[in-house]
Amino acid sequence: MSKARHVSETPATQWLKKHKVAYTEHTYEYIDHGGAGEAARQLGLEPHAVVKTLIMEDEAAHPLVVVMHGDREVSTKNLARQAGHKKVSPCHPDVAQKHSGYQVGGTSPFGTRKRMPVWVEASVLDYPVVYINGGRRGYLVGIDPKVLTTLLDAKPVSVALE
Protein backbone atom coordinates (compact mmCIF):
# COMPACT_ATOMS: atom_id res chain seq x y z
CA MET A 1 0.00 0.00 0.00
CA SER A 2 1.12 3.52 -0.67
CA LYS A 3 1.57 6.12 2.01
CA ALA A 4 -1.86 7.66 1.89
CA ARG A 5 -1.92 11.34 2.56
CA HIS A 6 -5.34 12.73 3.20
CA VAL A 7 -6.85 14.45 0.21
CA SER A 8 -9.58 17.01 0.67
CA GLU A 9 -13.00 15.72 -0.23
CA THR A 10 -14.16 15.52 -3.80
CA PRO A 11 -17.69 14.99 -5.13
CA ALA A 12 -16.65 11.32 -5.55
CA THR A 13 -15.56 10.82 -1.93
CA GLN A 14 -18.64 12.69 -0.69
CA TRP A 15 -20.78 10.33 -2.79
CA LEU A 16 -18.94 7.26 -1.47
CA LYS A 17 -19.36 8.43 2.14
CA LYS A 18 -23.03 9.23 1.61
CA HIS A 19 -23.57 5.68 0.29
CA LYS A 20 -21.46 4.18 3.12
CA VAL A 21 -18.89 2.69 0.74
CA ALA A 22 -15.58 1.68 2.32
CA TYR A 23 -12.57 2.92 0.37
CA THR A 24 -8.83 3.43 0.74
CA GLU A 25 -6.99 6.53 -0.51
CA HIS A 26 -3.90 6.40 -2.74
CA THR A 27 -2.07 9.48 -3.98
CA TYR A 28 0.58 9.67 -6.66
CA GLU A 29 2.37 12.29 -8.73
CA TYR A 30 0.06 13.07 -11.66
CA ILE A 31 1.84 13.09 -15.02
CA ASP A 32 0.07 14.36 -18.16
CA HIS A 33 -0.93 11.41 -20.36
CA GLY A 34 0.61 8.97 -17.84
CA GLY A 35 -2.79 7.42 -17.27
CA ALA A 36 -3.60 4.41 -15.16
CA GLY A 37 -0.31 2.75 -16.10
CA GLU A 38 1.69 5.52 -14.49
CA ALA A 39 -0.51 5.44 -11.39
CA ALA A 40 -0.06 1.65 -11.13
CA ARG A 41 3.72 1.98 -11.53
CA GLN A 42 4.06 4.67 -8.86
CA LEU A 43 1.77 2.92 -6.38
CA GLY A 44 3.14 -0.58 -7.03
CA LEU A 45 -0.27 -1.89 -8.11
CA GLU A 46 -1.16 -4.47 -10.74
CA PRO A 47 -1.96 -2.41 -13.90
CA HIS A 48 -5.06 -4.51 -14.64
CA ALA A 49 -6.51 -3.63 -11.18
CA VAL A 50 -6.18 0.10 -11.83
CA VAL A 51 -9.25 1.12 -13.82
CA LYS A 52 -9.98 4.23 -15.82
CA THR A 53 -13.22 6.14 -16.16
CA LEU A 54 -14.02 7.25 -19.70
CA ILE A 55 -16.79 9.60 -20.77
CA MET A 56 -18.13 8.69 -24.19
CA GLU A 57 -21.20 9.60 -26.19
CA ASP A 58 -23.65 7.81 -28.43
CA GLU A 59 -24.83 8.82 -31.90
CA ALA A 60 -27.27 11.34 -30.37
CA ALA A 61 -24.44 12.89 -28.28
CA HIS A 62 -25.91 11.45 -25.05
CA PRO A 63 -23.06 10.83 -22.59
CA LEU A 64 -22.22 7.50 -21.02
CA VAL A 65 -19.52 6.27 -18.67
CA VAL A 66 -17.21 3.33 -19.39
CA VAL A 67 -15.03 1.78 -16.68
CA MET A 68 -12.13 -0.15 -18.22
CA HIS A 69 -8.89 -1.78 -17.07
CA GLY A 70 -6.19 0.87 -17.20
CA ASP A 71 -4.04 -1.28 -19.49
CA ARG A 72 -6.78 -1.91 -22.08
CA GLU A 73 -8.58 0.15 -24.70
CA VAL A 74 -12.32 0.12 -25.40
CA SER A 75 -13.68 -1.27 -28.66
CA THR A 76 -16.24 1.45 -29.36
CA LYS A 77 -17.80 -0.76 -32.06
CA ASN A 78 -18.38 -3.61 -29.58
CA LEU A 79 -19.56 -1.16 -26.92
CA ALA A 80 -22.11 0.37 -29.31
CA ARG A 81 -23.42 -3.09 -30.20
CA GLN A 82 -23.61 -4.32 -26.58
CA ALA A 83 -25.11 -1.04 -25.32
CA GLY A 84 -27.72 -0.93 -28.09
CA HIS A 85 -26.41 2.17 -29.88
CA LYS A 86 -25.56 2.82 -33.52
CA LYS A 87 -22.26 4.39 -32.58
CA VAL A 88 -20.20 5.27 -29.50
CA SER A 89 -17.19 7.57 -29.49
CA PRO A 90 -15.03 9.34 -26.90
CA CYS A 91 -16.22 12.80 -25.89
CA HIS A 92 -14.04 15.82 -26.56
CA PRO A 93 -12.27 16.63 -23.24
CA ASP A 94 -14.24 19.88 -22.76
CA VAL A 95 -17.54 18.06 -23.31
CA ALA A 96 -16.50 15.19 -21.02
CA GLN A 97 -15.67 17.72 -18.30
CA LYS A 98 -19.07 19.39 -18.69
CA HIS A 99 -20.89 16.05 -18.30
CA SER A 100 -18.84 14.66 -15.42
CA GLY A 101 -17.88 17.82 -13.56
CA TYR A 102 -14.34 16.44 -13.33
CA GLN A 103 -11.12 17.53 -14.98
CA VAL A 104 -9.89 15.01 -17.58
CA GLY A 105 -7.31 12.83 -15.81
CA GLY A 106 -9.33 13.13 -12.61
CA THR A 107 -12.66 11.65 -13.73
CA SER A 108 -14.52 9.40 -11.33
CA PRO A 109 -17.77 7.54 -12.05
CA PHE A 110 -19.00 8.59 -8.59
CA GLY A 111 -20.59 11.96 -7.89
CA THR A 112 -20.77 13.05 -11.53
CA ARG A 113 -22.50 16.31 -12.38
CA LYS A 114 -24.97 14.50 -14.67
CA ARG A 115 -26.41 11.06 -14.04
CA MET A 116 -25.19 8.93 -16.94
CA PRO A 117 -25.55 5.24 -17.80
CA VAL A 118 -22.46 3.30 -16.71
CA TRP A 119 -20.91 0.33 -18.51
CA VAL A 120 -18.13 -1.71 -16.90
CA GLU A 121 -15.76 -4.23 -18.46
CA ALA A 122 -17.07 -7.49 -16.96
CA SER A 123 -13.64 -8.76 -15.83
CA VAL A 124 -13.21 -5.63 -13.65
CA LEU A 125 -15.89 -7.13 -11.40
CA ASP A 126 -13.75 -10.24 -10.78
CA TYR A 127 -11.29 -8.28 -8.63
CA PRO A 128 -11.79 -8.04 -4.86
CA VAL A 129 -10.53 -4.42 -5.01
CA VAL A 130 -9.99 -2.06 -7.91
CA TYR A 131 -8.30 1.32 -7.86
CA ILE A 132 -10.33 4.02 -9.54
CA ASN A 133 -10.03 7.78 -9.75
CA GLY A 134 -11.29 9.54 -6.63
CA GLY A 135 -12.24 12.75 -8.42
CA ARG A 136 -8.88 14.48 -8.67
CA ARG A 137 -5.71 14.06 -10.69
CA GLY A 138 -3.16 11.98 -8.78
CA TYR A 139 -5.76 10.42 -6.48
CA LEU A 140 -7.17 6.89 -6.59
CA VAL A 141 -9.57 5.16 -4.24
CA GLY A 142 -9.52 1.42 -3.64
CA ILE A 143 -13.05 -0.01 -3.69
CA ASP A 144 -14.96 -3.24 -4.15
CA PRO A 145 -15.88 -3.05 -7.86
CA LYS A 146 -19.35 -4.47 -7.14
CA VAL A 147 -20.21 -0.94 -5.94
CA LEU A 148 -20.33 -0.07 -9.65
CA THR A 149 -23.17 -2.52 -10.31
CA THR A 150 -25.03 -2.20 -7.00
CA LEU A 151 -24.98 1.60 -6.61
CA LEU A 152 -24.39 2.95 -10.13
CA ASP A 153 -26.37 0.21 -11.89
CA ALA A 154 -23.37 -0.36 -14.18
CA LYS A 155 -24.01 -2.91 -16.91
CA PRO A 156 -21.22 -5.44 -17.52
CA VAL A 157 -19.89 -5.59 -21.10
CA SER A 158 -16.97 -7.32 -22.82
CA VAL A 159 -15.44 -4.55 -24.92
CA ALA A 160 -11.72 -4.62 -24.10
CA LEU A 161 -9.28 -4.67 -26.99
CA GLU A 162 -6.43 -7.07 -26.28
| Superfamily, domain 11-161 | YbaK/aminoacyl-tRNA synthetase-associated domain (3.90.960.10)
3-state secondary structure of 155: strand
Domain boundaries, the chain: 11-161
As a whole number of angstroms, the longest Cα–Cα distance in the chain is: 45
What DSSP state is assigned to residue 50? B
Cα–Cα distance, 99 to 115 (Å, whole number):
9
E strands, 38-126, are: 51-58, 63-69, 73-74, 88-90, 118-121
Per-residue pLDDT of the chain (162 residues; tens, 9 = 90+): 444 556 689 999 999 999 999 999 999 999 988 989 999 999 999 999 999 999 999 999 999 999 999 999 999 999 999 999 999 999 999 999 999 999 999 999 999 999 999 999 999 999 999 999 999 999 999 999 999 999 999 999 999 997
Whether this model's pTM surpasses 0.85: yes
